[in-house]
């Protein structure tokens, strides 16, 4: 095993091994001892200490690079863990102030807006028990609307809530769900308004329905269909 060079450290040499007074094949313990000895000889000179630390880091990095390229002996390869841990603990180039500020601010930055793909409608018929519940609830709401005058507002409110909950249970986000429910309700009320405007007073008496019932009926049907098909 190579030992520390006999001529001693050369502070003016550009070779990190020569600066530490080491031979290229020095062991890890000899590298550590040479670093400690050279630091003790600097007499608290900051520049001299910096040169010693730079040479020490250069030696470690060169040995790790040689090991990765397979240019070391088997005995030296078995001691790699010591030098890798020492190299990772050695001082690195300080990061720029702006970069460190950005790293601290990154957790506070707002996240990217969700994709608009979740806003588009997706149509598929509900299945299983969910389909049965929607069919029964919708049929009961329509019967209540047809046979109970003054129930239009109640039926539409329940239909809006049912349509919203149906979309939530099928995996849609709350905001798009509410938006589509309100759109369906508004479209149904427009159709109901056109329908009531086109019917004569005698038609209402023949149908035995009030103006409120006729106006709410299209919206109730559309909300029911949306709860069955909109996913």
pTM: 0.47
Q: Per-residue pLDDT averaged across 154-161, rounded? A: 92
Q: Per-residue pLDDT averaged across 182-208, rounded? A: 86
3-state helix, strand, coil in the chain (%, to 5): 70, 5, 30
* CB-based contacts of 195, cutoff 8 Å, min separation 6: 214, 215, 217, 218
Measured between alpha carbons, how far is 111 from 124 in angstroms, rounded to an integer? 31
Residue 184 clears pLDDT 50, i.e. is over it? yes
Residue found by looking up tokens 């863990």 in the block: 81
Residue 216 clears pLDDT 60, i.e. is over it? yes
Which pLDDT score is estimated for 157?
Answer: 92
Q: Per-residue pLDDT averaged across 32-48, rounded? A: 86
Residue 60 clears pLDDT 60, i.e. is over it? yes
Which pLDDT score is estimated for 104?
Answer: 55
Cβ proximity of 216 and 145 under 8 Å: yes
* CB-based contacts of 34, cutoff 8 Å, min separation 6: 4, 9, 20, 21, 22, 26
């Amino acid at each position: 095993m190579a030992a520390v060079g006999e001529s001693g450290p050369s502070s003016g040499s550009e070779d990190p091994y020569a600066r530490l007074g080491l031979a290229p094949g020095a062991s890890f313990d000899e590298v550590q001892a040479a670093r400690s000895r050279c630091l003790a000889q600097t007499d608290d000179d900051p520049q001299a200490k910096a040169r010693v630390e730079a040479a020490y880091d250069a030696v470690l990095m060169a040995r790790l690079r040689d090991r990765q390229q397979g240019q070391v002996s088997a005995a030296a390869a078995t001691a790699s863990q010591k030098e890798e841990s020492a190299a990772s603990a050695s001082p690195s180039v300080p990061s720029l102030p702006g970069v460190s500020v950005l790293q601290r601010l990154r957790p506070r930055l707002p996240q990217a807006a969700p994709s608009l793909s979740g806003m588009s409608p997706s149509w598929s018929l509900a299945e299983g028990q969910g389909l049965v519940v929607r069919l029964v609830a919708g049929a009961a709401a329509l019967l209540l609307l047809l046979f109970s005058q003054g129930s239009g507002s109640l039926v539409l409110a329940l239909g809006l809530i049912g349509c919203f909950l149906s979309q939530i249970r099928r995996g849609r986000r709350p905001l798009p769900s509410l938006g589509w429910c309100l759109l369906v309700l508004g479209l149904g009320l427009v159709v109901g308004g056109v329908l009531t405007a086109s019917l004569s007073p005698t038609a209402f008496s023949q149908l035995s329905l009030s103006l409120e019932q006729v106006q709410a009926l299209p919206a109730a049907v559309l909300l029911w269909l949306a709860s069955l098909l909109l996913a």
